[in-house]
Structure 1
Amino acid sequence: PVDAMNPVKVAEAMHEAMERARRGEGPTFLEMKTYRYRGHSMSDAQHYRTKDEVEEYRKIDPITQVLDIIKEKKYATEAEIETIDQRVNDLVAECEKFAEESPFPEAQQLYDVVYEQENYPFIPHRL
């Protein structure tokens, strides 16, 4: 298990797993334990936790921690971070627009490339 709310712990665990694999010692299973700020769905009233609990976890948000490290170590300036944020926001908006303006796929596509086995006898495998 890895505390996924701590980016340094995640990086250390990933590094250890990669080095293990490079030594030929096989794969590593990492359980990344993190906190979900929102409910499971629109209908989740989240009666199982308090607003104070959520706010406490927001104080250790991994994104904020990484940004603090970037600024502290002077890996990027505030202006560079803002530029990156804007590029990401623009890209997401472009993707949303493309998705919203694209037609729905044909229902048959539900069955395309579903099975790895190309000669699956029940549903034709198509690319």
Structure 2
Amino acid sequence: LWKLPVVFIVENNGYAMGTSVERTANHTDIWKLGLGYEMPCGPVDGMNPVKVAEAMHEAIDRARRGDGPTFLEMKTYRYRGHSMSDAQLYRTKEEVEEYKKIDPITQVLDIIKENNYATEAEIETIDERVKDLVEECATFAEESEFPTVEQLYDVVYEQKDYPFIPHRL
């Protein structure tokens, strides 16, 4: 295996469309796929932002040192169905509610409050600014012209010194 500076992430939300991983695979520890390539690998509690940050820092540091790739399985959860037509008959409402109790965003907010990084008023201000920004972006997208066929590949990958893709801005 080449010692490329890559961090492979598998986001495992427990379901493949409408079927649980347990019903579709003999081996549900997806992170073990990395063992076949003799690279560091492991599961990460994707619902815990601190554990995710720690695992990512370690993997990124490893890549930057030139020690090769890392393969991580982020075990997380999705609260909504796979698509708008997904009736979610494969899980219970109680299951979804249990996972909402350990929502990563709520955990980050708790850390911010417990450590006095921001007041409740500051958090509300940030929340309103983010909502306004999302609204502004949605309006911009809805009012923008569709791109032309000629623009299809413009700025898809942006790296000035990358010799293989022409850049048009």
Distance 1:61 1:114, change over 3 A: closer
Tell whether 2:71 aligns with 1:29: yes
Structural mapping, 1:16-95, within 5 Å: 16-95=58-137
Q: Which has the higher helix share?
A: 1
Which residue number corresponds to residue 3 of structure 2? none
Specify which structure has the bigger relative contact order, considering alpha-carbon pairs within 8 angstroms and separated by 6 or more residues: 2
1:12-46 deviations in Å (ceiling 9; x for gaps): 10121122123321232322221000001110000
Separation in 2, partners of 1:86, 1:18: 33
Give unpaired runs (5+ residues) of structure 1. 119-124
Give unpaired runs (5+ residues) of structure 2. 1-42, 158-162
TM-score normalised by L of structure 1? 0.83
Distance 1:25 1:78, change over 3 A: same
Runs ≥4 residues deviating over 4 A: 111-118
Q: Which has the higher strand share?
A: 2
Q: In percent, how many aligned pairs have the same letter?
A: 80
Size of the aligned set, in residue pairs, is: 121
Output the amino acid matched with 1:67.
L
Separation in 2, partners of 1:78, 1:61: 19
Measure how far apart 1:52 and its partner are.
0.4
RMSD: 2.2
State the secondary structure of the residue aligned to 2:70.
coil
